[in-house]
Chain A
Amino acid sequence: MTAFRTFFAATTALCAGTAAFAADLEVTHWWTSGGEAAAVAEFAREFEAQTDHTWVDGAIAGGGGTARPVMVSRIIGGDPMGAFQFNHGRQAEELIEAGLLRDMTDVAEAEGWKDIVNPPSLLDACTVDGRIYCAPVNIHSWQWLWLSNAAFEKAGLDVPSNWDEFVAAGPALREAGITPMALGGQPWQSSGAFNVLMATLGGPDVLQKIYGDGDAEMAAGDAMKRVFKAAADMREMVQGSNVQDWNQATNLVITDQAGGQIMGDWAQGEFAVAGEVAGEDYTCLPGLGVNEVISTGGDAFYFPVVDDEEISAAQDALAATLLNPETQVAFNLKKGSLPVRADVDLEAANDCMKKGLEILASGAIMPDVNMLNTEDTNNQLNDLFVQFFQDTSISADDAQARFVDIVANKD
């Protein structure tokens, strides 16, 4: 017993000793798939290399839907972590209003984020009443179609160059024993894929009007009718992909069991981990090959208010580290996302990332759905589309009627 006590006393003394120089900063995030974990390890490495602080990894498995409630309840419950990842947009709105998150404007000004962050809308999404509350770390876009070259070869087809060709190839793929399209069972994947159809087949303006302005007339209109028709086509194609997680669905494409998948550019990290080469083993079609536009959502780190100067100092240091050029390059190459600053060199980027960078440079960008919708609206959309894509008894018209209802009541 006494041995125990001395041991504990020794360890506490040790902790107190190190704390004088550097703080342990707990960072929570939901990056747990192979590619994501490799990317976040880059953050930890850079943070520990450039500062004296220690990165304590607090990964939460199960995706944002599982992780966000855990993070929020820890912050509200008075046990905040050092920093946490959210998708920037309206997810943290109320936490900021309640004064639970730190104002990082000082760091942002010292580092000149206003001048380097590109596109500026990323920083706007972090800004509330002129103060900056988060550090954007990457740009993620949803509007990508990933295709397995080998799957099409096996079915004796050319790799499609746009959505319509892909739909037309569906029956031939199924005959060859390949699931035409992979879709995981988690609700956010269903609504995400639908939003992509809407942004590309309908066009970015349609999405902006409906989600941004709550235009119910537009939601009931002909443009959306076509989108719902495409969604019904997609429902046919995803029959038989019995997986849950997005990376399992991507894996169906990687292993050529499925023809393709609509998924954000983070899927690229999975292809990279599997050793696949863009253009040879797989093909990526930004904007589904129809409308080359990318949304500029992404991930950002927020910093809860903590009553400990050591930790606050570590938070400042982390915020600065996240945006410095080397970190940005190392992280984004692994993650498959685009850097938030235009002045970094992405020589090592692969074909797909280069396509993304070109589109970004050309200015064909649109806001991310998370910036326009609250989580409540997103959750309602999740419910609608996960049901639509899994249950063939719901007609496209019925689904559209429910969609109009959600849009009319959104805030």
Chain B
Amino acid sequence: MAAVETRNRLMGPRLSTGLIAIYGALILVAIATTMPFLWMVATSVKYDPDIFSYPPRWLPTQGFDFGNYVDAYRAIDMGRLFRNTAIVTVADVLAQILLGAMAGYVFARLNFPGKKVIFFSLLATMMVPFEVLVLPIFLLVRAFPLAGGNDLLGQGGTGLLNTYSGVIFPNLVSVFGIFLFRQFFVAFPREVEEAAIIDGCSLSRVFWTILLPNAKPVMGTMALFAFLWTWNDFLWPLLVIKVDSLNTLQLGLSSFNQETGTRWAELMAGSVMVTIPVILLYLFLQRFLNQGIATTGLKG
């Protein structure tokens, strides 16, 4: 953006050959990144003869078959899958925001014994990706005390397997989120809080009434990241959920192919329906994405 201003100031906006080349290159890249989506949408409204035609056709010759969407919805009971995914996603998004904000506030503002050790331990855990720990976390969730027929020691039953809680549990807190909130609170002016504390306001009230309501930009960033992560997550639900009625959308979609052979049109229709909420949320929250990257310089 700064480059634009310089350019405009120095020579005014103009369409040089260089600029045309830039547009050309950008459009080429945009076609490459978007083409698979257009192909998905085009396929989702085709009748079979067009699907299995070679050479492939972008536009249907047999008319549009929007019934694919209804078929896909029915085939994997998408209403239920949407509900399951929404429950899991909302729980994790809210928890990550609330717990992230609380911990972020503590690390940004309060002094207490053990602060450095705890903070650096948390940062260190960011280097350990979830995929490395699936087995121990799976065993932990399976041995969750007093759940799913387990006794106090976590023996005898299936713990949190095949429950919403089991899916929700490993994504309740994000260290990245804590870090994001901390950075925001560190940069937030202290004057208002100090005045409130002199007036006898407790530290937790300062957090709930002054800092939290002002942290909306980070909440937006966190909501977007947490939503993308849990809504799109595949590996963990795959391990925890073994009954169809509790499937998430991603699980349902992945099982689609096996159940119906190559029903490409319905599969693509289902994919469109699963992706639309994500795109809408991105469009709604994209301004926060930039702020998030600007404050931390992290995470893609």
Q: Do A and B come from one complex?
A: no
Q: Which residues of A contact B (CB under 8 A)?
A: none
